[in-house]
A and B are shown apart, each in its own frame.
Chain A
Amino acid sequence: MQPHRSPAAPFVEIRDLRKSYGRGKIPVLNGITDAMAKSDRLVIIGPSGGGKSTLLRCMMGLEDIDGGKIVLDGLNYIECQERGRTVIDRAVQRQVGMVFQHYTLFPHLTVLQNLILAPLKRNGERKPTAIARAEALLSRFGLAEKLKSYPSQLSGGQKQRVAIARALMLEPKLMLFDEVTSALDPELVAEVEAMISELANGGLPMVVVTHDMGFAKNIATKVLFCADGVVMESGDPQTFFSTPKIKRTQDFLAKILHGNKV
């Protein structure tokens, strides 16, 4: 039985999440605990290898976990049970959408086919309604004329925007963005960030992993600094970026903001 949700309960709750690769040999997440409200846009920053992407992948249910649990909207979503078995509630998983760093559009399908595949196959939606929704979504984001294009005919920015639209077709309650602009040419970053900002303004709860501090500042209601598989520091973006508390965060921000890639 799923417990009922109390009004004060956070939208997403991560409790002592642990994950290691190679049969426990390489720990990646060493007990992450955090919570976000429905109105939150959580931005995760931190050095490479600090566990940001792994955390996001766990939140999508792409990884088995070694300990802890994730609760979404009061429902048990992912839990590590006794004997280390990861249990994922597939119905809850369906409420989460994710966009990846490297374009994961299916190259053999057109833009439209990419968008309607899951609604048709997973949800059994009727084709005309799915097509209508896809067309509406694509024109909303200025991609209407790309409907019949194949992914290989799109720019990197367009590919990412289509990938976001594809995730939105399933009307997720929570969106995860894993370094979605990291693989893009600099001049293409803005259009993708603008699209995410628009969704943020529309009130879509999201978790964003990014290296772009400007974007992080603009979009975040809460910032998490992850390193060594733990949350080193978290706070509202104002305080976090102006007066970071711990040395590690200060050093990281100093490096990033002075243009040195970490």
Chain B
Amino acid sequence: MSDYSFDFYYVLSGFSRLLQGLVVSLELTALAIGIGTFSGFILALATSSPIRVLSIPARLFVEIFRCTPALIQIVWFFYCFPMLANVFWSPFTMAAIALTLNLTAFNSEAYRAAIQAVPAAHRDASVALGLSKWHQAVHVVFPQALRIASPVLVSNSISLFQQSSLVAVVSVEDLMYEGKMLAVETYRPIETFTTVALIYFGLSFPISQLVNRIERRNARLLA
């Protein structure tokens, strides 16, 4: 071990700034989750649609966001998109767009897999019961798919909260950004970044435990 002596005084004195940053991080995350949970479902329907003008662009969208780093996505929306589209919105807005689209793509895959995981026998049973395609979807397939998808949706949301730290790169004043500033100003990077990490952990860990609980409940209920 090195003989580094920890001193949290400066971090604690700058703690309110970290909390301000945390509020921004949470706003970004909440916005992305709020929209991405719904838009992911719509996108999942589009990707599995028999109509190719819907399914091909939808799949392309999903693959682009799955196969590029989130950091590039954020940077691209911050630097490139405004020039191409000639719109100049705040860094927060651009970051929110990038994160929301990213989560939409990942949630879409969660929903698609969940819809496919509903046993085909239930479709047969629905036909035997004379349920229309619409009733079958709304009352049989989607409610089950939602339950199957829920642990993945929650864990995607946790990931998104972690990835929201990348927006610090494009000068959105989130928790990571404030931490970076504080570390530079106090010359106490170890204490500062450890504190920042603990904040991310402290908020994510309970929710990741929730994922386990949902999985256990699903295993029991959907057996």
B121 adjacent to A102 (CB under 8 Å): yes
Query: Which residue on chain B has the smallest CB distance to residue A95?
Result: B130
Q: How many residues of A contact B (CB 8 A)?
A: 26
Query: Any chain A CB within 8 A of the CB of B82?
Result: no
Query: Any chain A CB within 8 A of the CB of B34?
Result: no
B128 adjacent to A167 (CB under 8 Å): yes
- Rounded to whole angstroms, the CA-CA distance of A93 and B139 in the bound complex is 20
A106 adjacent to B147 (CB under 8 Å): no
Chain B positions 3-54 with a Cβ under 8 Å from a chain A Cβ = none
Further pairs besides A60-B124, A121-B131: 4, Cβ < 8 Å: A106-B140, A117-B139, A122-B131, A170-B129
B47 to chain A, nearest CB (A): 23
Query: Which residue on chain B has the smallest CB distance to residue A121?
Result: B135
Pairs of residues from A and B, 8 with the lowest C-beta to C-beta distance, nearest first: A104-B125, A118-B129, A98-B128, A121-B135, A122-B130, A104-B121, A108-B143, A94-B130
Q: How many residues of B contact A (CB 8 A)?
A: 21
B219 to chain A, nearest CB (A): 9
- Rounded to whole angstroms, the CA-CA distance of A213 and B208 in the bound complex is 53
Query: Any chain A CB within 8 A of the CB of B1?
Result: no
B140 to chain A, nearest CB (A): 6
Chain B positions 98-132 with a Cβ under 8 Å from a chain A Cβ = 119, 121-122, 124-125, 127-132
- By a CB distance below 8 angstroms, the chain A residues around B139 are 106, 117, 121
Using CB atoms and an 8 Å cutoff, list the residues of chain A in contact with chain B: 57, 60-62, 90, 93-94, 96-98, 100, 102, 104, 106-108, 117-118, 121-122, 150, 152, 163, 166-167, 170
Q: List 6 A-B contacts (CB under 8 A).
A: A60-B127, A94-B130, A100-B124, A152-B221, A163-B125, A170-B129
Query: Any chain A CB within 8 A of the CB of B84?
Result: no
Given A118-B129, A118-B131, A152-B220: A104 and B124 interface contact (C-beta under 8 Å)? yes
